[in-house]
């Protein structure tokens, strides 16, 4: 892999993380998912929109391991392609909220004053709207589609990152090494990027992992409500939404995509919990 300083904090974190079996299992599942998403064309036995009119709403068979849906499309292949949407939305949405929220929080924490106050009040206002509702409003304004889904989900987590960033910047900015950097003539940008941000990384990494899980859940929920990805491209939430009409004739349609969501979220939550324990040894039992 890559070489690590023998006594670096990262090295100790990884050692502690490796002892946490749940987190290791989570990382393994996440790795598998990423491989599946990247190589969907090679792994999926059928195309995601291939229709087989002889095989409509048929259960598991040798040809279609997880059965077929109301258009005779292979459920397994659709779940495999659906991983692309979930992972993309999860990662891009978190990147959006991390960059915007991080910037707002860093500015509010570092410079403080009136600007900081105004920015944080704005975040408070956003927190007054329940997150899922805000995501619904934003995506109904933007319209359906992958990009809009990412933006809608990403914007909803901005205040959480802003608050976290502000709190960690405030706890660090008056330390002596920052003062030393300032005395050496470092600019504000340099101080923030080189000295403050690396020291805020730990809570951010944990929050990001958990937010990826949350974003995937939100994206699936929006798709379930008909606000996400447009057919025929498969999305796990959207597949479950379609499955409702066939609960009596083809109940398996309501089960497999849900398992895919659940396993992904459990994996991410385990990684997040594991990282939190590994990055904060003081908290360890």
Partner 1 sequence: MLKYALWRTLQLVPIIISVMFILFTLLYFTPGDPALVALGEEASPEAIVAFHREHGLDQPFFVQFGNYVYNVVFHLDFGYSYAMKTPVASELLPRVPVTMKLAFWAVLFSAVIGIPLGIICAVRQYSILDSVATLFTLLGISIPTFWSGLLVVLAFSVYLEWLPSMGFDTPAEMILPIITLSGSSLAIIARMTRSSMLEVIKSDYVRTARSKGQTEFSIIFRHALPNALIPVLTIIGMQFGTLLGGSIVTEAVFSISGIGRLMIEAIKMRDYPIIQGGVLFISVAFCLINLLVDVLYAWVDPRIRVK
Per CB under 8 A, residues contacting partner 1 are 124-126, 128-134, 136-138, 140-141, 213, 217, 220-221, 224-227, 237, 240-241, 243-244, 247-248, 251, 254-255, 258, 261-262, 265-266, 269-270
Toward partner 1, which CB reaches closer, 251 or 281?
Answer: 251
Please report the DSSP string for the chain in residue order. -----TT-HHHHHHHHHHH-HHHHHHHHHHHHHHHHHHTHHHH-SS-TT---TT-SS----SSSTT-B-TTS-BHHHHHHHHHHHHHHHHHHHHHHHHHHHHHHHHHHHHH-HHHHHHHHHHHHHHHTS-HHHHHHHHHHHH-SSHHHHHHHHHHHTHHHHHHHHHHHHHHHHTSHHHHHHHHTT--HHHIIIIIIHHHHHHHHHHHHHHHHHHHHHHHHHHHHTT-SPPTTS--HHHHHHHHGGGTTT-GGGGTHHHHHHHHHHHHHHHHHHHHHHHH-GGG--
Cβ proximity to partner 1: between 26 and 102 the closer is 26
Q: Which is nearer to partner 1, 195 or 264 (CB)?
A: 264
Shortest Å distance, C-beta 208 to partner 1: 17
The least CB distance from residue 128 to partner 1, in Å, is: 5
Least separation in angstroms between CB 265 and partner 1 = 4
Instruction: Find the shortest distance in angstroms from Cβ 43 to partner 1.
Output: 24
Angular region, 60: left φ>0, alpha ψ -120 to 50, beta rest? beta
CB of 129 to partner 1, least distance (A): 5
C-alpha separations of 116 from 36, 97, 105, 110, 225 in Å: 43, 18, 8, 8, 37
Residue placing its CB nearer to partner 1 in the complex, 51 or 140: 140
Please identify, using beta-carbon distances, which residue of 191 and 225 lies nearer to partner 1: 225
| Separation between Cα atoms, residue 121 and residue 162, nearest integer Å | 11
Q: Given the complex with partner 1, which of 45 and 251 has the nearer CB atom?
A: 251
CB of 132 to partner 1, least distance (A): 4
CB of 9 to partner 1, least distance (A): 25
Closer residue to partner 1 in complex, CB, 46/157: 157
């Amino acid at each position: 892999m890559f070489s690590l300083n023998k006594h670096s904090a990262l090295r100790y974190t990884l050692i502690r993380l490796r002892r946490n079996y749940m987190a290791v299992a989570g990382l393994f599942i996440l790795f598998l998912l990423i491989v599946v998403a990247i190589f969907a064309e090679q792994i999926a036995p059928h195309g995601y929109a291939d229709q087989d009119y002889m095989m409509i709403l048929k259960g598991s068979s040798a040809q279609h391991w997880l059965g077929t849906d109301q258009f005779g499309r292979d459920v397994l292949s659709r779940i495999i392609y659906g991983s692309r949407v979930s992972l993309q939305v999860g990662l891009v949405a978190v990147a959006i909220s991390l960059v915007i929220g991080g910037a707002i929080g860093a500015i509010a924490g570092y410079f403080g004053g009136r600007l900081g106050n105004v920015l944080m009040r704005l975040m408070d206002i956003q927190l007054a709207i329940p997150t899922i509702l805000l995501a619904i409003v934003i995506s109904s304004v933007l319209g359906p589609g992958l990009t809009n889904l990412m933006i809608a989900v990403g914007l909803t987590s901005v205040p959480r990152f802003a608050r976290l960033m502000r709190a960690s910047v405030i706890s660090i900015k008056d330390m002596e090494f920052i003062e030393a950097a300032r005395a050496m003539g470092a600019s504000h940008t340099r101080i923030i990027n080189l000295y403050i941000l690396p020291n805020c990384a730990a809570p951010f990494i944990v929050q990001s992992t958990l937010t990826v899980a949350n974003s995937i859940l939100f994206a699936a929920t929006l798709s379930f409500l008909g606000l996400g990805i447009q057919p025929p491209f498969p999305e796990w939430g959207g597949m479950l939404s379609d499955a409702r009409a066939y609960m009596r004739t083809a109940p398996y349609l309501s089960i497999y995509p849900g398992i895919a969501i659940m396993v992904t979220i459990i994996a991410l939550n385990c990684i997040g919990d594991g990282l939190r324990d590994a990055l904060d040894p003081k908290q360890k039992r």
